[in-house]
Structure 1
Amino acid sequence: MFSAAALQSLKRKRLYEQQVEQLGNYQLRIHDQMIMLEGAKATTETVDALRTGAAAMKAMQKATNIDDVDKTMDEINEQTENMKQIQEALSTPIGSAADFDEDELEAELEELEGAELEEQLLQPATTAPAAPVHVPAGKQPARPVQQRKNTEEEDELAALQAEMAL
């Protein structure tokens, strides 16, 4: 039937197949172990980073407590209030400008405006020609700008405004 050599070869073949399968399982187990080690290393590094962050935060909180923050905020508010007072003191009029009564100045201004309006109403009405509906195309000659004469009151007002600008 079968030769002894053929049976021996078949037995060796099966032994080799078992050996190959066993070595494949070893490799698989080693590969699995490497993955587990990489995961453990990543976990350890993450935990170490979290510990370092927590320790740094704790150190910062020791250096800055709520009383220090409140004190600093109070100092900032105090300095802000001081600056407002300084700015208010600098903007308060002094000398003759401080002697003006605002109500009196407003009444005088209203009186001047009323007099100007009255003067305008008393001037005779001029009838102007109707404005053209259509402007012809082409270049138009420039119209000279007529200068309006200032009234005495307007001159005084301009002088006062010039003084206030100083």
Structure 2
Amino acid sequence: MFKKLFGQKAPPSGVSQSSASAANKTISAIQNLTEHEESLEKRKSLLEKRMDLEQEKAKKFLSEKKKAQALQCLKKKKLLENEIANLDNMIMRVNEQRMMLEGQRTTTEVVSSMHTAALAAKENMRAMKIENVDKVVDEINETTDQMRQLNEVFAAPLGLGADLDEDELMAELEEIEATELDKELLEPAPVPVTKLPAAAQASSEKMPSVPQKQKQPAAKTQEELELEALQAEMAL
């Protein structure tokens, strides 16, 4: 079956028509089986009600001491039970037949879809030639190379920045850093100032200051005395 569906030759028109006819018959059969199943279910429900009624009548006759009538009701009830059992078997057979047809219909639709997809894939491969694929790949590679070249052009420095030597700039920067480091090393280190504790500082503030002796002026030399005498004479 799959060889006929997926073979190289297209199926004749008669096959498609027969498939459509079979699908229509399947749908019609499923509908008929569904209707019969519903009808059987309704009859079963009716018989169950009649069976319950005969059961109640038998109980009533027994309460009235009418055993013969009660026995007749039980016989009718038994016949109804047998008929209900037959209906259950019929419903089961109809249900099985309907489920089988539904499964076949689903399988047929899936196979038909697969067949259509296979034909579409063949048409696509026939339209897409290998030389066309190679041409498209070459065009993509060419476009990629052009974009790479453009990126390299835009990444290169322009104008005055293109003439600058980065190695020379780095050497100058290192020289400046070395000079600044030498200046820092030549500067004297700050003397740390030790703060006295609060208690010691307070006690030092309370202590009286020691009076300092005034320094006596130093004795003048002979030359200084002669110079002062000369200045006094000139002033006169």
Provide the TM-score with structure 2 as the length reference: 0.39
Q: Any stretches of 5+ residues in structure 1 without a counterpart?
A: 1-15, 131-166
**Structure 1 residue aligned with 2:31:** none
Specify the alignment match of 1:104 in structure 2. 168
1:84 matched to 2:152? The reply is no
Percent of residue pairs identical: 45
What does the per-residue CA deviation read over 1:72-103, in whole Å, with 9 as the maximum and x for residues that have no partner?
Answer: 23322221221121122123223432222222
Unaligned stretches of 5+ in structure 2?
1-78, 195-236
Q: Describe the SS at the equivalent of 1:126.
A: coil
1:42 aligns with 2:106: yes
Matches of 1:78 and 1:97, distance apart in 2 = 31
**Equivalent residue, structure 2, for 1:52:** 116
Q: 1:92 to 1:31 in 2, by over 3 A?
A: closer
Letter in 2 for 1:43: T
- Distance in 1 between the 2:153 and 2:96 partners? 80
Q: 1:94 to 1:28 in 2, by over 3 A?
A: closer
In the alignment, which residue of structure 2 is the partner of 1:70?
134
Which residue pairs with 2:73 in the alignment? none
Alignment: residue pair count: 115
Q: What SS does the corresponding residue of 1:125 show, helix, strand or coil? A: coil
- Matched residue type, 1:52: T
Q: In the TM superposition, what is the alpha-carbon distance from 1:109 to its structure 2 partner?
A: 1.6
- Partner amino acid for 2:183? E
Q: Deviations over 1:90-135 (max 9, x none)?
A: 23223432222222222112111211222222222225679xxxxx
CA RMSD of aligned residues (A): 3.3
Partner Cα distance (2:123, 2:190) in 1: 86
* Structure index of larger Rg: 2
In structure 1, distance between residues paired with 2:122 and 2:193:
86
What CA deviation, in whole Å up to 9, does each residue of 1:128-163 have, x standing for no partner?
Answer: 679xxxxxxxxxxxxxxxxxxxxxxxxxxxxxxxxx
Choose between structure 1 and 2: higher helix proportion.
2
